[in-house]
Structure 1
Amino acid sequence: MKLNTKDIDKLEHKFRLNLINSISGIKPANLIGTRSKNGMDNLAIFSSVVHLGSNPAQLGFIVRPFAENPRDTYSNILETQHYTINGVPLELTKKAHYTSAKLDQGVSEFEVMNIEKEFMDDFYAPFVKSSPIKIGMKHLDSIPLPNGCTMVIGSVELLMVPEGSMNDLGQLDLSHINSAGISGLNSYYSLNKLTTYPYVRTSEIPEFE
């Protein structure tokens, strides 16, 4: 199948939505945890978390347009400036997926989906207890995007990974800790490590056949 811009624009809405959300491949599955100023906890699934820099350590993620439909996650981040990013383990994918439901404001996904939370080192926002990778974030900036979405940029303030999941170079083995990935809006994948290649230096490029 070959599609140009006009072809894509003519596709049925849900078909186009699923297709375009799938073509970028498998993305990390993460639950973002927040707490409002009045102590209401919120949890939502995201597949848009990306690495922005290592020094300083920064991550970003995308929130959809919210002018007409305020979203607890982003509202809480703006209120408190803190949030958590929690990798989704394979056994939690079903509960994690259902956090995408549009619950009434003030209703906690932790309670509705029966997901256990925990707090660490006096960090304000809640973590997902069963998550293999827990990241405490501080909001730095929000950048409007041309499509009405917003990129939320934060600094890594706290990090927790399982013992034995990291090699001497600081690389995490995501298959070892059973992290899940997402393709499109609702397809979940397990991750299997294929191999590790060295850092590429021009002088060390092999001769390929």
Structure 2
Amino acid sequence: MTAAANVGFALRRLSLGKSERRRRALEMLERVGLAHLADQYPTRLSGGQQQRVALARALVAGMPLLLCDEPLSNLDTHLREQIRVEIATLSRDSGATVIYITHDQQEAFALADQLAVINEGRICQMAPPEDVYWHPADPFVAQFTGLSGHLTGTVVGLAGDRLCRVRIGLTEVVATTVQPPTPRTQVSLLLRPDSLSICSSERTDGILYGMVRDT
């Protein structure tokens, strides 16, 4: 079965004519960048190309629910970005619900309306991506979203909704928290590297002092 016939096979349930099935199959192959290989057989396709044919077959049928388990794992960076956009566009245009399984944080945050972070079979947090990013529910979710580094401090008091003041050595900083901690409780702080900046030692608010060891 050729790539076009493989994709068109998913349309048989719609009672479409052969020419219409082929037209829709070619259109979907175009969207995944394989129109030029429409008449090739699986043995002539690479693993990544076969994966894109399978993705095209799943998308062309317009099903209301689509399960994608690591659909872009065998593709190079450029194709991953291209097909990711196509999946998002097609699911939005069709109104389909897509359950998308991935270990790639960038894919997860780029595609999800609701993001579920799973660890050892348990959902640690399920929320919109921005909530997961800025308000992780536990250390595992925090590290999944890119928080790293580890500092120990003592809670001084609350500083607003989901905020508390923490003393680290002689410095006091404001940190986000999932649950309001009790004052004088020892806590661990995780840092997001892209939120840190180097500044002059003249500032006194929210400053952690250190020595540059390497550049």
Same fold (TM over 0.5): no
Which TM-score applies when normalising by structure 2? 0.23
Q: Which has the higher strand share?
A: 1
Q: Which has the higher helix share?
A: 2
Which TM-score applies when normalising by structure 1? 0.24
Name the structure, 1 or 2, with higher relative contact order (CA <8 Å, separation 6+): 1
